[in-house]
Copies of this chain bind each other. A is one copy, B any other.
């Protein structure tokens, strides 16, 4: 059996796009399979925050991963624009993590200290100085952690941009093609069985988001992950109400191009349902109004939901399958998928090539909580 492809990538979201793009750049011939439409699930539902310091703050492997990934965006934005015409709307416009309680204030101030010690800039903005930066925020805020180095992209454009960049190089994208199981010969994966027949390759990478667990189950291990639904809505004003992301424990508000704001996201574990609930919208509306009262005057835009893959210990899975050396998995990025997508693509490409990634990926290996099926 001659291999039709060097690598088959299973899943057409931001991780599949990033992985296919990095591999295509290195000259590999790729087949990317997506069971519905590319960019149709969680990747395009994200608000697009690049919140390396705001979401991930402790001195741990995840923080290293996040910082390293954040660095990739400026160059990546240029590459995608060049290859596809797509602007991923990368902006390093900073973030405010606002404190609504004394407890949050203490916690954020500690995080600032830790981050400063680790060489990252982060500052405490006392309540009275908030209006200088963001005049429309509620006057009930106790202050904010200000991270200059964080920023944002357009998640749908990043996802589409990565996938179309891969296509412009050497990636064949097939949509509406569902991978059912892996084809194996002894302890080798030799391809995949799909709704359109079998495809053969030297390597297979699974980047199927919340649908990864089921598929990997087929290969004999349980990934220890679960889906987490997140609902969002967006509104529009002619003049922007805020100039950077406002992040709180209960919701975030992300300013997009042309005066649009994305408000997200609810957290509903164990649900694959993409339906928007009245409850979710009511909750987000309430929280957003308490942080940015003038959002009431904005124009309602739309609602949507995404299903994010979460691992049991909160760390992503990045690595080889314990039993098959040519089967790779990138999964469990939960709500940091957009932020972590550039480094994930680089790591997966390195692992497949047999190179050592630029960052230690041992904490993210697949078998760390490994459990054999049956």
Known: A160-B258, A196-B270, A258-B160. A275 touches B85 (CB 8 A): no
A178 at the binding interface (Cβ < 8 Å) = yes
User: Among the listed stretches A86-94, A131-139, A342-350, which one makes contact with chain B, having 4 or more residues with CB under 8 Å of it?
Assistant: A86-94
**Contact indicator A274/B176 (Cβ below 8 Å):** yes
A127 at the binding interface (Cβ < 8 Å) = no
Residue among B173, B272, B299 making CB contact with A275, cutoff 8 Å: B299
A300 at the binding interface (Cβ < 8 Å) = yes
In the complex, which residues 223-258 of chain A have their Cβ closer than 8 Å to any Cβ of chain B? 227, 235, 238-240, 256-258
* Chain B neighbourhood of A195, CB < 8 A: 214, 227, 272
Residue among B87, B177, B276, B286 making CB contact with A299, cutoff 8 Å: B276
Count residues of chain A with CB under 8 A from any CB of chain B: 53
> Chain B nearest CB: distance from A290 CB in Å?
12
User: Among the listed stretches A56-64, A103-111, A277-285, which one makes contact with chain B, having 4 or more residues with CB under 8 Å of it?
Assistant: A277-285
A297 at the binding interface (Cβ < 8 Å) = yes
Interface string of A75-88 (1 = CB under 8 A from B): 00000000011110
CA distance A277 to B297 in the complex (A): 6
* Chain B neighbourhood of A278, CB < 8 A: 235, 285, 289, 295-300
In the complex, which residues 182-239 of chain A have their Cβ closer than 8 Å to any Cβ of chain B? 195-196, 214, 227, 235, 238-239
CA distance A94 to B89 in the complex (A): 25
Interface string of A283-308 (1 = CB under 8 A from B): 00110010000011111100100000
A353 at the binding interface (Cβ < 8 Å) = no
**Contact indicator B300/A281 (Cβ below 8 Å):** yes
* Chain B neighbourhood of A299, CB < 8 A: 275-278
Beyond A168-B239, A195-B272, 4 additional contacts (C-beta under 8 Å) are A84-B257, A84-B259, A175-B275, A280-B300
19 A–B contacts, CB within 8 A, in A order: A84-B258, A86-B258, A87-B87, A173-B238, A176-B272, A176-B274, A177-B272, A178-B272, A195-B227, A196-B270, A277-B296, A277-B297, A278-B295, A278-B299, A279-B296, A282-B285, A282-B289, A285-B285, A300-B303
Chain A interfacial positions (CB closer than 8 Å to B): 84-87, 89, 91, 160-161, 163-164, 167-168, 173, 175-178, 180, 195-196, 214, 227, 235, 238-240, 256-259, 270-282, 285-286, 289, 295-300, 303
